[in-house]
Amino acid sequence: MSKLWGGRFAQTTDQFVEQFTASIHYDARLYPWDIRASIVHCRMLARQQIIRQEECDSIVHGLQQVQKELEAGQLPFRESLEDIHMHVESRLKELIGPVAGKLHTARSRNDQVATDLRLYLRDQVDQLQDGLRRMQGALLDLANQHVETILPGMTHLQNAQPVSLAHHLLAYMEMLQRDRARLRELRFRINQLPLGAAALAGTPFPIDRHWVAEQLGFDGICRNSMDAVSDRDFVIELAAACSLIMLHFSRFAEELVLWSSPLLSFIELPDGFCTGSSIMPQKKNPDVPELVRGKSGRVFGHLFSLLTLMKALPLSYNRDMQEDKEPIFDTLDTVQGSLRALTELIPGISVHKENMLQAAAAGFTTATDLADYLVGKNIPFREAHEIAGRMVRLCIEQNCTLDNLPLTTMQQIDARIDSDVHPLLTLSASVNARRSAGGTAFAAVREALAAFAKSLESESMAGL
């Protein structure tokens, strides 16, 4: 089969080279955006009187027919046609004849693929935004049920201070909020039009790039033709944002795995998101969170792959850049799948409140409250810290908790301790003492949940 670029060549392309260089097996997914951009480009050519209106009409009608065939799975893919752009143009030529060749006036595959990719990624960013908002909504619903459920807050995986489970879940909601903010920011940088840069130097034809940008919903145009076709920093930036999303997913998944273990038994995951063992009948394995945790490494690897791909490329376009699509496509597929899995899992989580409360009572999690009490007695915090530490050591020796340590015993260590200390050493008192903005007190948590609910509702109404 003759190539659309074959005039320069006297020999046919080696069959292995065709297979080695073809990208149709993965860039076929770009066809809706390729055809959309081609239609707008064609209409611009007619608008600028670069081609005749009747030629434009024929080309647009042909492109619409090609899209219908692709949607119906009726257009066979051939490695000899290399990529989705050549498949579309080749089929267009079969449908309408040589006039199809006028579509490629004033453009190159270099700016064409950059445009298709930006359009595709823009839509993916919008889908991720919507999905992350739904996951926040699922976390919000769960958190609203557990404002007064207390579990041990940990540092170093050691019991630290008691916290509200809702407060713990709000931490993940904040992470997702920052993920969404990053997506909003990078969407603007993705949403710049490369089309019109042609191969690398622009075009002598009197095109109207700003009109094309407006028609395709771009925020602006890439201002330098070489930069437009030769950089993929927008791909790398999205891969980095996706890596952070997966990092947050992985941390949440890790806690689901730990919490659902019989060693803690804080929660039970829904059966539909777990599997059993082929040999041990009693097992209920948290496979979905484990896979999300594992898939994070895959996404991180794609980010490094993209960075390595671009690090030494001279200006402008190089064929190496064909290798940008598989990593970013798989990254987005992985993040979207993980997002759906976690969002649909969250409503099915059963919380074992008593087990969480019992765990929060272990490890002297109210020791800081004792130190804070002593500070209220005008004792410097460092001295108060020392006294509280001695109390903990005494409790360990006597196998009791701080709130059960007799007042007389406490007063032997420091006489300034009075009978008002014990009510402050309960778990609920400890939690509710943290009334500072962003703290875990029940009232503060309810305020935070209400603010989040209001924010999500307004964003949904605004279509953000």
**Rounded Cα–Cα distance for residues 349 and 172 (Å):** 16
Q: Cα separation of 322 and 24, whole Å?
A: 11
| Structure-token pair, residue 77 | 């893919």
Q: Please identify every residue annotated as catalytic.
A: 156, 277
Distance CA 80, CA 22 (A): 7
The contacts of residue 327 (CB under 8 Å, 6+ apart) are 239, 302, 303, 305, 306, 309
Q: Copy the structure tokens of residue 306.
A: 């993209």
In terms of Cβ atoms closer than 10 Å to its own Cβ (0-12, 13-18, 19+), residue 238 is: buried
How far, CA to CA in Å, does 230 sit from each of 109, 117, 233, 239, 432?
12, 13, 9, 18, 56
150-155 and 158-164 as β-strands: parallel, antiparallel, unpaired?
A: antiparallel
Name the residue among 453, 452, 429 with its Cα closest to residue 442.
Answer: 429
Structure tokens at 367: 């020791």
3-state SS, residue 202: coil
Please, which residues have CB within 8 angstroms of residue 141's CB and are 6 or more apart in sequence? 346, 347
Query: Residue 283 is encoded by which pair of tokens?
Result: 């097992």
Dihedral of alpha carbons 229, 232, 237, 242, sign: positive
Q: What angle do CA 189, 238, 128 make, to 5 degrees?
A: 100
Residues contacting 71, CB < 8 A, separation 6+: none
Task: Give the number of other CB atoms < 10 A from CB of residue 365.
Answer: 26
First-to-last alpha carbon distance for the chain, in angstroms, is: 47
Helices (H) and strands (E) in the chain — how many of each? 18, 6
What is the spatial distance between Cα 196 and Cα 108, in angstroms, rounded to a whole number? 8
From CA 35, how far away is CA 117, in angstroms rounded?
12
Q: Which residue has the tokens 């009232």?
A: 443
CA distance linking residue 437 with residue 359, whole number of Å: 26
Structure tokens at 259: 């919490």
Distance, CA of 394 to CA of 369 (rounded, Å): 17
Helix axes 442-462, 165-190, angle to 10 degrees: 30
